[in-house]
Structure 1
Amino acid sequence: MENFFLYVAKASGLLTVFFMAYYFLLQKETFFNANRWYLILGLLTSVLLPLYTFTKIIYVDPQPQNYLEYDTSHPISVQESSPFDWSLVITCLYIVITIFLFIKVVINLASVMRLLSQKEKFKRETYSLVNLTENLAPFSFFNYIAVNPDLYTDEELESILLHEKVHSREKHSADILVANLFCVLFWFNPFMCWYKKAIVQNLEYIADQKAIQYCENKTNYQKALLRVVTNQNYLSITNHFNQSLIKKRIVMLNTNQSKKQNSLKY
């Protein structure tokens, strides 16, 4: 039990260190793809590194012991009251909350799959376009891009699809699932929640940066961002168009590319 607590403490501490490094050094840089891999590898390193232990063998000369010094003819009986096992209580609490949160993620995932299965789909290039009828913000989930075309103009739809195609093509949904899984395992660490937000925010930066390269009018793209803000309903397990703070995304769209020497921060 002690080993389990020690492992969780080490992994949680490493998560915090990776997030703080990102927050203070990398979040304002425009190396979005590098930031993506930094954040994902940070999660994996945090759970794998504590499993590796450094061992050192030290040989100690044996010390002679005179067992005749001990009087074993009159054994002493000692009655000890067993202390309350708080570690067991904490472990059970951790397991119960973790299972509850995992079930919640599975339910959210099932609701997305059920929604996608019930809607009309059109095969386009490398993705399937799903026509929504609900007032949901546009979102992507692996090879599916879902949007309600009745809520947007043709120009807005073009910008939305350019954005979501990046999410779909680069499998950003996998990052979201991994982040949700880690939030389940490390629910007690507030930094994990911020870590997930950093992952999601950076994915939006990637999609914006690459979508704008194919957009004829950069201003119209930014207007589409603001337009989608009016649709506040979204599915948390997906890459949705209005996931991150719009102000930060627009600011980052108009930020100059980071200097190459800034990559030394990694």
Structure 2
Amino acid sequence: MYLIKANVVLVVLFVFYQIISAGDTFFKWRRLSLLTVYMLSLLLPTIDLSVLVNETVPLGNILPRMAYNLPEVMVQPTHDNFDWQQLAVWLYTGVALALLLRVFWQVGVVCRLAQRSERATLHGTAVCLLTGDYSPFSFFRWIFVNPVNKTPSQVQQILTHEQTHVAQWHSADALLSQLFVAVFWFNPVAWLMRLQVRNNLEYLADRSVINGGTDKKAYQYHLLAVAYRTNVATITNNFNVLPLKKRIKMMNKQTSNPLARFKYLLFVPLAVALLAMNNTTIRANVQKKVVKTTKTTKKADASNKVYEVCEQMPTFPGGDAALMKYLSENVKYPALAIKAQEQGRVVVSFTVEKDGAISDVKVARSVTPSLDAEAVRVVKAMPKWTPGKQGGQLVRVRYNVPVSFKLN
């Protein structure tokens, strides 16, 4: 459930980011916004306000009424069906671990390269000298460059560019985006976010070079000259990161109106709205229970009364034996509960309405969330019953059905 909520938040915030950032040159605000999207995607799903809501609800208002107890149903694990849910979990975990190992391997490659590289000072900057046709890059405090066949002006451009990455800790952003892709690899937005992060970091570094007095056209030609050189690792900040067309377009773009940057503050109300939506369902369910119980208590009209016992009790189609058969055939032992060695007796309470429909299904006695959910699922799916009668009139009747989950 956490992964689902986190991915929903990620998609919503990224779409919003794309809308408000389109066409502007507020690269620092873009960077802050992208980091905010990552942070909120991880944190918002963990904030549960239901505790505050539940503290205001009298316990007696949300407990189920006493009801007629049906015979107990015993459920045990079966091993003849393929566990697709478990396969999905293993697939997700396997891919995530592979991507994480790839990130750590690349970090190791860069660290080994830093240890083995010859050190030098170029234009007052300590660098690690590259050999071969590799693109200049930086990773945290290390700057890697091959000065061979480069003019002093080109070397200075490279150093200014990479010093910006180093000074502003751009490698932390790049590493975070890679880790996020590893965990949320199944979400295309995570990959798009990584691309946005990398491009924006290059926009920031390019602007530092141009603002430092470098001729814009000369710098752009320099970028084109190294466009197809090999990159050591994708976690590094590379001088020639593509697409160059967008970088050149941004360099030539007119600076946006400073007042327009305040549009990024709209992330605050959006985050509040997402937090509210995350807790709306829980709050609504609690309030619904309170209102319904209050109405039941205050209502003097016998037509809405819920009976525990009546003159003619409701019957499941085919009788009690058919009911027990239905429950035993449809309740399945959850795979996650088997893995966690969860077992116990869940009691589900429900009402047979005047038309025989099943309503107000709730857990009267809980064991674990997965076992509770399975018992509730099957009870909600029951076909219509023959309704009960009191004094010749159709009435509503409450039942409890115990479902025992027992491991072999």
Residue pair 1:159, 1:215 contacting (<8 A) in 2 also: no
- Aligned with 2:30 (options 29, 35, 50): 35
Pairing partner for 1:260 from 247, 258, 261: 258
> Per-residue displacement from partner, 1:57-115 (whole Å, max 9, x unpaired)?
23317666366xx58xxx67666664654333222221121111111111111111111
Structure 2: how far apart are the matches of 1:89 and 1:198? 32
- Counterpart CA distance in 2 for 1:34 and 1:242 is 23
- What are the residue-to-residue correspondences of 1:127-166 with 2, within 5 Å? 128-166=126-164
In percent, how many aligned pairs have the same letter? 34
Map of 1:1-266 to 2, 5 A cutoff?
6-55=1-50, 56-57=53-54, 58-59=57-58, 60=61, 65=66, 82=78, 84-122=82-120, 128-266=126-264
Contact persistence 2:134–2:230 (CA under 8 A): yes
- Counterpart residue identity of residue 237, structure 2: N
Counterpart contact for 2:125–2:159, Cα < 8 Å = no
- How many residues end up aligned between the 2 structures? 256
The 1:214/1:54 distance shift into structure 2, 3 A limit, reads same
Structure 1-normalised TM-score? 0.88
Instruction: For 1:31, give the aligned amino acid.
Output: F
Residue 146 of structure 1 aligns with an amino acid whose one-letter code is F
Does the 8 A contact of 2:157 with 2:214 survive in 1? no
Structure 2 letter corresponding to 1:32: F
Q: SS state of the match for residue 134, structure 1?
A: coil
Cα separation, 2, equivalents of 1:79 and 1:49:
37
Structure with bigger gyration radius: 2
Distance in 1 separating the partners of 2:112 and 2:36: 31
| SS state at 1:149 partner | coil
* Distance in 2 between residues matched to 1:63 and 1:10, nearest whole Å: 30
Alignment CA distance shift 1:66-1:212 (3 Å): closer
Deviation at 1:153, TM superposition (A): 2.2
Which whole-Å CA distance do the structure 2 matches of 1:95 and 1:190 have between them?
17
- Structure 1: 5+ residue stretches without partners: 1-5
Higher helix proportion: 1
Q: Report the AA paired with residue 38 of structure 1.
A: S
State the SS of the aligned residue for 2:148.
helix
Distance in 1, matches of 2:64 and 2:142, equals 71
How far apart, CA to CA, are the structure 2 residues paired with 1:95 and 1:103? 12
State the Cα distance separating 1:243 from its structure 2 match.
1.2
Say whether the 8 Å CA contact 2:231–2:238 is kept in structure 1.
Answer: no
Counterpart amino acid of residue 24 in structure 1: I
The 8 Å contact of residues 127 and 143 in structure 1, kept in 2 or not, is answered as no
- Counterpart of 2:41, as a letter, is S
Tell me if the contact between 1:155 and 1:220 (Cα under 8 Å) persists in the aligned partners.
no
Q: Using a 3 Å threshold, how does the CA distance of structure 1 residues 213 and 53 change in structure 2: closer, same or farther?
A: same
> 2:350 matched to which residue of 1?
none
Q: CA RMSD in A?
A: 2.3
Greater shift, 197-206 or 148-157, is seen at: 148-157
Contact between 2:28 and 2:204, CA under 8 Å: does it hold in 1?
Answer: yes
Residue 126 to residue 42, structure 1, CA distance change in 2 (3 Å): farther
